[in-house]
Amino acid sequence: MKLSIVDQSPVPEGLTPADALRNTIDLAQLADRLGYERYWIAEHHATGSFASSAPEILIARVAAETAHIRVGSGGVMLPHYSPLKVAEVFRMLHALYPARIDLGIGRAPGGSPLDTFALRRDRTSRTMPDDFPQQMAELIAFLDANFPDEHPFREIAVSPAMPGAPEVWLLGSSMWSAAAAAQFGVPYAFAHFIDPTHTREAIEYYHHHVNREAGAMAGRTILALGAICAETDDEAHRLYSSVRAWAQRLRQGGGRGPIPTPERAMAQVGSTHGRLPNDTGEWPRVFVGDQSRLRDELSHLADVLSIDEIMIVTVVHDHQARRRSYELLAEAFGLEPRAG
């Protein structure tokens, strides 16, 4: 089974967003050496918790600092942007790093309603029409230079013109996204760590309804989930308390601040064990434990859902503990290390 990483560039309490971005580069280099398949960078706006608001910029830096791992967006929130501009940006990245760039597309705002309004392309009305399907179709046509003969955009030559194209993935955590990915015939990444309510239903729907004639990537799936691995279960749950305290604070209106230390977190949430607020899915949003526990639980989940690849997000306060978590998982799943 392939393992990958989605990185939100978490900002630890007591450090700066610049430190968080340096941690992202360091972790990507480690993931490249350990044998992870791909490294995706999330898009979050107007928050003190996560440092990456412009994944396309960080993708360029991460790809330059690595040699083998695929690098991409997890994802670009398409409603904020022009499909042509996104196509140009990712064609540029593809020209710089051929056969290594992924374009993960999301529909969610990536921020609060006010953030979303500030990011809007058109503020002439209070509500913006949901034209995501049209945007997605336009983006794919720009990337593939495949508009119908009568379409006016057929005359636009997207540059830089290079053989091939970035891999396009549709991201989501709902039945809507599963249906859209199936209809477009693009590979599908389900964000279980965001909302696990429809995990089984959405992935099974996609597998049964995807347009497999759309291309070689049609039918491919990624399950993105949270995981924290440590030498012992107790240590993993101690690290996990930071996420639980952060989520509780967010739910109670305490703002989107940095990730607290385990010591401060345990003073807030008490026991080191427990699920995140509203974590009522069939499987937890974050899997926590030692190597053997996580290997067994994640392998079982992949078998049940017929998943090609698991993508892991690990949010803890200590960057060295985050590195160690990914090292332990790579070892548990027998990833083949890469040289150089």
Instruction: Give the number of residues written for the chain.
Output: 340
Mean pLDDT across 193-214: 95
Q: Which amino acid is at 272?
A: T
Is residue 300 classed exposed, middle or buried when 0-12, 13-18 and 19+ CB atoms within 10 A define those classes?
A: exposed
Q: What residue type is 231 in one-letter code?
A: E
Using alpha carbons, list the distances in angstroms from residue 259 to 40, 47, 176, 311: 20, 12, 31, 21
Check whether 315 has a pLDDT greater than 80: yes
pLDDT average, residue stretch 238-261: 89
How far the first Cα of the chain sits from its last, in Å, is 23
Could you write out the DSSP letters of every residue in 155-203? G---SS--SS-PEEEEEESSHHHHHHHHHHT--EEEETTT--TTHHHHH
Q: Say how many C-beta atoms besides its own lie within 10 A of residue 124's C-beta.
A: 6
Determine the 3-state secondary structure of 17 from DSSP.
Answer: helix
Give the CA-trace dihedral at 300, 180, 219, 337, to 10 degrees.
-60
With 70 as the cut, is the pLDDT of residue 272 above it? no
* In the block, residue with structure tokens 């477009």: 184
CA distance 135 to 274: 40
Please state, for a pLDDT cut of 70, what percent of the chain lies above it. Answer: 94
pLDDT band at 216 (very low <50, low <70, confident <90, very high): confident
Contacts (Cβ under 8 Å, ≥6 apart) of 234: 272
Q: Give residue-wise pLDDT tens across range 134-184.
A: 999 999 999 999 999 999 999 998 989 889 999 999 999 999 999 999 999
Q: Take residue 180 and report the two structure tokens written for it.
A: 């859209």
Residue 310 pLDDT level (bands cut at 50, 70, 90): very high
**Amino acid (one-letter) located at 287:** F
Looking at the chain, the whole-number percentage of residues with pLDDT higher than 90 is 80
What class has domain 2-332? Answer: alpha beta
Residue 172 pairs in a beta bridge with 190
- Tokens at 147, concatenated: 């508009």
The pLDDT, as a whole number, for residue 128 is 62
DSSP state of 245: H
Whether cis (ω within 30° of 0) applies to the bond prior to 75 is yes
| pLDDT at position 120 over 80 | no
pLDDT at residue 30 is higher than 80: yes
The token duo for 303 is 């078998």
Confidence of residue 253 (pLDDT cuts 50, 70, 90): confident
For residue 20, name the pLDDT band (cuts at 50, 70, 90): very high
Domain ranges (residues) in the chain: 2-332
d(CA 73, CA 4): 13
| C-alpha atoms less than 13 angstroms from C-alpha of 333 in its C-beta half-sphere | 27
Taking 90 as the threshold, does the pLDDT of residue 127 lie above it? no
Query: Strand, coil or helix: what is 188?
Result: strand
Instruction: Please tell me the distance from the alpha carbon of residue 2 to that of residue 36, in angstroms, as a whole number.
Output: 7
Confirm whether pTM is higher than 0.75.
yes
pLDDT at 124: 72
